[in-house]
Amino acid sequence: MLEGRSLPGFRSFGHWVKKGNRENMSIIREIYKEMVQGKPYMNEISKETEKEIARFLERELQGSQEEYEKYRDNLYGAAAIAEEVGFIKGFCLAVELIETCRLNPYT
């Protein structure tokens, strides 16, 4: 949980994110899980992902129901990981952009 944990001041936040150690990344993951994952707009994105996975499996997989479910579950797992990693990379990029604009407001 994020409660009770403090992040460094904004002045050094960009540096904190750039350091990219495990502790920092775990806090960003917590932000994702507590503030983003499961929100209504994310559910819409997840529905699109589900549709694409179903289309892919219909085209590519001709097998038993058990095999279908196994591949589907693996694809859902990979999609969830990719979603989280995408958030973390986007978060880090956003902080970098904010930090750059703060340091060089006229460029």
Output the pLDDT for position 20: 59
Output the pLDDT for position 10: 46
Output the pLDDT for position 99: 81
Low-confidence ranges of the chain (pLDDT < 50): 1, 5, 7-11
Output the pLDDT for position 96: 82
pTM over 0.85: no
Output the pLDDT for position 62: 83
- Nearest Cα residue to 51 out of 75, 70, 74, 33: 75
